[in-house]
Amino acid sequence: LGDYHKRETYEIKLKNHKEDDVVVTVIESTPGHLEWRIIRSNIDYKKISAYKVEFPVSVEANGENTLTYTIEY
């Protein structure tokens, strides 16, 4: 990628201890002063600003789900 570019992968595990399914909105900050792009994600996302991205993560009742994404900047 070069001296001035990075690629990072994040994994966020979410657990639901409720009796009902839920959707957790995960908001992640990005390096807004730089150009960035998400090159891989197991969950669809929405860019909500130059600095933030939002992932709606479904988690079944008494279950867990993992959000994994890779960002380049």
The pLDDT score that the predictor gives to residue 1 is: 66
pLDDT reading at 73 higher than 70: yes
The pLDDT score that the predictor gives to residue 66 is: 98
Token couple for 23:
């959707």
Mean pLDDT value of segment 42-53:
95
Distance CA 52, CA 42 (A): 18
Query: pTM for the full model?
Result: 0.89
Whole-number average pLDDT of the chain: 93
The pLDDT score that the predictor gives to residue 60 is: 98
pLDDT reading at 34 higher than 90: no
Closest among 61, 57, 55, 63 to 15, alpha carbons compared: 63
Residue type, 7: R
Distance CA 29, CA 32 (A): 8
